[in-house]
Structure 1
Amino acid sequence: MSEPLRLIVNDVAVEYGTRRVLAGVSFALRAGETLVVTGANGSGKSSLLRVICGLQRAAHGTVTIEMDGRVFRPSEALHLLGWVAPDLHLYRELTALENLAFFAAVRGIRYTHADLEALLDEVGLGGRGGDILAAYSSGMTQRLRYAYALLHHPVVLALDEPTVTFDARGVTLVEGVVSRQRERGITIIATNDPREERFGDYILRLGQ
């Protein structure tokens, strides 16, 4: 029987030069749980998510993922982590399908053309996989970021400003992603939009 999934953040601090933006952040989450991290701009929301996803080093503290009896640091667990953020880089000169195929190859993920088409359908881009990203609207590009993040079925999904550039149908997409992620693992959401607090089981307010 596999061990339960846990994400443990212990006394994490983040510094930029002499400026400390986070200090003493600690929490633990289990499979099926969602945490919403809120706070004013500059309070460290995005920095915390980047530390959790192994994209940034903490000045102090630790992040660990426990799964199947093993303990991973984020740098060892990229195959377990998914990341969506407004600044996530995609290749505008490539089609949506070419972007997904490239990232799948980089991650060593086996896939079929049908797999990628199904993923595009899931995020509301069905029939648009052959279009280059330069022709995409900002909302469509954000949808493709979700497809990228879900490509490898992550057990820990981090969403930074999850509904930015989205219309009402895009918000419904995010609700569905968060709901399905409860069956797979853990979700962490960074936002300063109070409407997005409804996604969370727990709220962490930074800068208070």
Structure 2
Amino acid sequence: RDINFELKPGQSAAIVGPNGSGKTTLIRIICGLIRPTAGKVVYSVNGHDIEMLNVYRHIGLVGPYLELYEELTALENLLFFAKIKRVVDAREKIKDLMAQMNLSGRENDEVKTYSSGMRQRLKYVFALLGDPRILILDEPTSNLDRDGINRVYQIMEKQKKENILLIATNDDEDLKYGDFQVAVNS
């Protein structure tokens, strides 16, 4: 497939296409989770290319395929992830993000006790914990109630103004947050 686009801070794009067209595969390639069969993904910060091995430091990703450690508490999961991402003041950021996603008071609950909507909210805490320059959202509002959706839209609005936002969706309401669309067809 011939897909070519560029995003700079303050820009956003929506990847669109029918179910099974490759939206999630494209997201995984962009994140460096799988290698493209042809072509390449290039990340640059201040004019310097970033090696794919280090891209994870700059990306926040939310997707239905991301798994959490069920037997650990939300806080244990988040502290583990914060250590990998080298997050400074992790506990304070976790507290703020848990409040932002309306999960305050549930930090010490095992993830297996969370509903699907709460897990989706928790994935946003993970994604935002490292202050990502690039926020990538695959089906950003899946499993969320109206309050959760509104919170996600606030995050998307802020991200697209300050950094880079890339979403994969077919939801018309979500599409409003993309400055342009990237069509993926099977």
TM-score when normalising by structure 1: 0.85
Aligned residues: 186
Whether the 8 Å contact between 1:54 and 1:74 is mirrored in structure 2 is yes
Higher strand share: 1
Question: Deviation per CA, 1:25-64, whole angstroms, max 9, x where unpaired?
Answer: 0011111111011111111101111111111100111111
Which one has more relative contact order, counting CA pairs under 8 Å at least 6 apart?
A: 2
Letter in 1 for 2:171: D
Report runs of 4+ in structure 1 exceeding 4 Å deviation: none
1:147 aligns with 2:149: no
How do 1:1-208 residues align onto structure 2 when only pairs under 5 Å count?
23-207=1-185
Percent identical = 39
Letter in 2 for 1:66: S
Whether the 8 Å contact between 1:104 and 1:111 is mirrored in structure 2 is no
Please tell me the root mean square deviation across aligned C-alpha atoms, in Å.
Answer: 1.4
For 1:175 and 1:74, the matched residues in 2 are separated by 29
For 2:165 and 2:74, the matched residues in 1 are separated by 25
Q: Which has the larger radius of gyration?
A: 1
Question: Deviation per CA, 1:120-150, whole angstroms, max 9, x where unpaired?
Answer: 1122211211111111110000000010011
Whether the 8 Å contact between 2:82 and 2:90 is mirrored in structure 1 is no
- Give the gaps of 5 or more residues in structure 1: 1-22
For 2:25 and 2:51, the matched residues in 1 are separated by 17
Higher helix share: 2
Whether the 8 Å contact between 2:11 and 2:161 is mirrored in structure 1 is no
